[in-house]
Structure 1
Amino acid sequence: MKVVVVDDDNLVCLALKTILEAEENISVVGIGHNGKEAIELYNSLNPDILLMDIRMELMSGIDAGEAILNKDKNAKILFLTTFSDDEYIVKALRMGAKGYIIKQNFECIVPALKAVFMGQSVFGDDIVSKIPSLINGSETTDFSKYGITEKELEIITAVAEGLSNREIANKLYLSEGTVRNSLSTILSKLDLRDRTQLAIFYYKNK
């Protein structure tokens, strides 16, 4: 797993490099200190994951993340920050970041990277608990106008509740393959990237 680390504190970068490269299958291929360097490093090194701070001089991690994802929607960005700021959380979620974890939780960094590498989205418990209140809209949405069927809405609701494909299959008496295919169809209909954005869409519009 190739990782680029970007943080405005060089000591933090070096500490992260030491922690990550203690793992057999993780290699830190580049280190940067602001958002502009993050973009340059991502474009030149094509890492599997970009592990990036948010508040940095010249360009923030949020702005850099948006620029990268606008160019490469499959980019895997994991934000690591000391700030559990509501505005940052919402922006990170909506842009399609794969994770947002707090720096103090150093023991979570390696497991989070591995999860993101496997295609999962990772948000700390303190972040997840905030999501519904942060993005829940006041108006309800008619999901059928997006071509969403009743069964698909049930699947969307289950995803928003944090259920895995297997748990959704058991709850709705479907096969895992059907759930997986339905999720692909739903994401295509709504023009969303992944389960996290789907959950956000649901809470924002329910």
Structure 2
Amino acid sequence: MKIVIVDDDCLVTGALKTILEANEDVDVVATGLDGRDAVRLYGEHKPDVLLMDIRMKNMNGLEAATEILYAYPEANILLLTTFLDDEYIVKALRIGAKGYLLKQDYASILPALRAVCSGQTVFGMEIVSKIPDLIRNEDGFDYAAHGINEREKEIIRLIADGNSNKEIAAELYLSEGTVRNYLSSILNKLQLRDRTQVAVFYYQHK
């Protein structure tokens, strides 16, 4: 797993590099100090995941992520910050960052990198709990136009409420296998990757 780390604190960058490279499958191919470095290094190395701070001089992480994702829509960008800032979280969701974690939660960084690398979207529990209150869109979304039926809409709502497949199955008197099939259909119709994106999508279009 090739990783690029960008943070304006050299001590943080060095510590992360040391921690991550203690794992045989992780290779930190480059490090940078600001958003400009991030844009340049992403283009040079095409890492599996770009692990990047938000508040940096010259160009911040959100600006860099926007530029990178415009040029490379497939880019996996995991934002790592000290700040649980509402505006940052909303922007990270809207530009398509694959994750947003707090630096204090060091233990979750490696699992998050692996998850993002495998195509999942990862937001720390502190962030997930804030999403419903942060994202509102007054315009109703036409689910029917995307082939989403009423049962699938109900499953989307239950996923957004944090229910597992087992809990959804019990609530709707379905088998877990049927719920999994519905979820696969929902992901396909809405072009989403995982249940976290389903939850985010629901609150964005509520």
TM-score range (shorter-chain normalised) is 0.7 to 0.9
1:171-199 per-residue CA deviation (whole Å, 9 max, x = no partner) reads 643636623530333223xxx56544432
Q: TM-score, normalised by structure 2?
A: 0.86
| 1:186 equivalenced with 2:158 (yes/no) | no
2:187 match: secondary structure: helix
| Equivalent residue letter for 2:107 | E
Deviations 1:149-178 (A, max 9, x none): 113213322332345567656764363662
Per-residue CA distance 1:66-87 (angstroms, 9 max, x = gap): 1112222221111110111000
Structure 1 pair 163–65 and aligned structure 2 pair: CA distance change class (3 A): farther
Q: Secondary structure at the match of 1:159?
A: helix
- Tell me the number of residue pairs that the alignment of Structure 1 and Structure 2 aligns: 203
- In structure 2, distance between residues paired with 1:126 and 1:186: 29
- Displaced runs of 4+ in structure 1, greater than 6 A? none
Alignment-mate amino acid for residue 73 of structure 1: P
Give RMSD over aligned pairs.
2.3
Bigger mean CA deviation after superposition, 109-118 or 177-186: 177-186
Q: Which whole-Å deviations, capped at 9, do the CAs of 1:70-110 have from their partners, x for residues lacking one?
A: 22222111111011100000111122211111111112211
- 1:30, distance to aligned residue in structure 2 (A): 0.6
Residues in 1 aligned to 2:170 and 2:26: alpha-carbon distance in whole angstroms? 35
Give 5+ residue unaligned stretches, structure 2.
Answer: none
In the alignment, the residues of structure 2 paired with residue 51 and residue 63 of structure 1 have an alpha-carbon distance, to the nearest angstrom, of 14
5 Å-filtered alignment, 1:100-119, equals: 100-119=100-119
1:122-201 mapped onto 2 (5 Å cutoff): 122-138=122-138, 140-163=140-163, 172-173=174-175, 175=177, 178-179=181-182, 181-188=184-191, 195-201=195-201
Give the deviation of 1:43 after TM superposition: 1.1
Q: 3-state DSSP class of the match of 1:24? A: coil
Q: Match for 1:80: what amino acid?
A: L
TM normalised by structure 1 equals 0.86
| 8 A Cα contact 1:165 1:179, kept in partner | no
